[in-house]
Structure 1
Amino acid sequence: MRVPTGLQRREHQLTRRMASWDSPAARGLLPAVEEAAEHTKLWWAAALVMAVKGGRRGRRAAASGVLAMAVAELLSNGVAKQLVERRRPPAEWIPHGDVEDRPDSSSFPSGHTAAAMAFTTAVAASWPWVGAACAVPTVLVAVERVHSGAHYPSDVAAGAVIGGLATALVRMTPRLLLRRRG
């Protein structure tokens, strides 16, 4: 993927700045967020808690979140990553040792961010307060993907857009199907 020079320079600056964030909070919290977000474990756990503790509203929010997350993963990992080949940020941009444990797949877009955003926006549409609570780990996932050197900021932004689009698609589909039947 060819990135315009101006954007590439800004991404280099922002990636280096985010990756060099070396506070005790970053060292403790971001690796835990990465582990929880792997294979969407965090979102499946949230959905389970919502379904068990949230009654009908919780089950609806959980189902909507999981469905939107699945669509986002299909769009980001199954479609976009196959169409756009982009290398991960160069290891020399990342001043810590986490760069050895990066995926081999295309950097564009961030599938973790797409899944997180889709889950959160779908839940927020059904249950706003819980969606707001889910937004905190969603932002942390996005920050972690750049901090660890797994993605460029634009990969994360694209993942967020895909996640939002997946939620919109999931929310529109029943209405479109009903309109078509009638």
Structure 2
Amino acid sequence: MQRRLAGYDRALYRSVARLPTPRLDEPLRRVSDFADYSKPWLLIAAALALLGGPRGRRAAVTGLAAVGTASFVVNQPMKRAGETRRPDREALGVPKPRWVRMPTSGSFPSGHSASAAAFAVAVGEVLPPLRVPLRAAAAVVSFSRVYTGVHYPSDVLVGVAVGALSGSIAARVARLMTAGED
């Protein structure tokens, strides 16, 4: 069963590699690089904290707590437990113009995807008008990791699941801590 799933994962990876979309190479490379160290989420959190009043500050803190939790879970126990190899993007046909620097950590799961989903879910729960744009941004970051060849689709899907769970938990905790304040 595991071998079959790995085969599907590689087949989907190859399908993304074969997409005839050279106009997306530069933008998705930039997105993937920009998302290093959760930069987009830190910048949005700063803007929310400075400009969003009490709810914006709550959303910023909740989002960053979710990112911290997801990053810890993904980068400590999960990546250390599996130590899966990164894709061989040359052998699997990812065009070189798409390439970003290949991380040295294990491939499974995607930390970029976990952080993106964690922030989007957590902040979207506190500030519902931001739910769709943040989730769209998280989806672009997550897809960019497969598109640039540094993750298999399953790495991204599990990263998103861990991030969404972290975001949901952070939002619940924030609601409990601030019950009666609004």
Same fold flag (TM > 0.5) = yes
Match of 1:135 in 2: 135
Q: What is the aligned-residue identity percentage?
A: 34
Which SS does the other structure have where 2:35 is aligned? helix
Deviation of 1:95 after TM superposition, in Å, equals: 2.6
Q: Specify the alignment match of 2:180 in structure 1.
A: none
Cα distance between partner residues in 2 of 1:146 and 1:54? 34
CA RMSD of aligned residues (A): 2.1
TM-score, normalising length from structure 1? 0.88
| Count of residues in correspondence between the two structures | 176
In structure 1, the gaps of 5 or more residues are 178-182
Structure 2: any 5+ residue segments left out of the alignment? 178-182
- Quote the residue 2:77 is aligned against: 79
In the TM superposition, 1:100-115 aligns within 5 A as 101-115=101-115
Offset at 1:161?
1.0
Q: Does residue 94 of the first structure (1) align with residue 99 of the second (2)? A: no
CA–CA separation in structure 2 for the residues paired with 1:101 and 1:38: 11
Name 1:53's counterpart in structure 2: 51
Q: Tell me the residue number matched to 1:180.
A: none
* Per-residue deviation, residues 8-52 of structure 1 (Å, max 9, x unmatched): 221111101112334244123201211220111111011111112
Q: 1:53 to 1:25 in 2, by over 3 A?
A: farther
Distance 1:5 1:53, change over 3 A: same
TM norm structure 2: 0.88
Matched AA of 2:131: G
Residue of structure 1 equivalent to 2:6: 8
Equivalent position amino acid for 1:147 in 2: Y
Q: Pick from 21, 25, 28 the counterpart of residue 26 of structure 2.
A: 28
User: Which aligned segments of 4 or more residues in structure 1 are displaced greater than 6 angstroms?
Assistant: 174-177
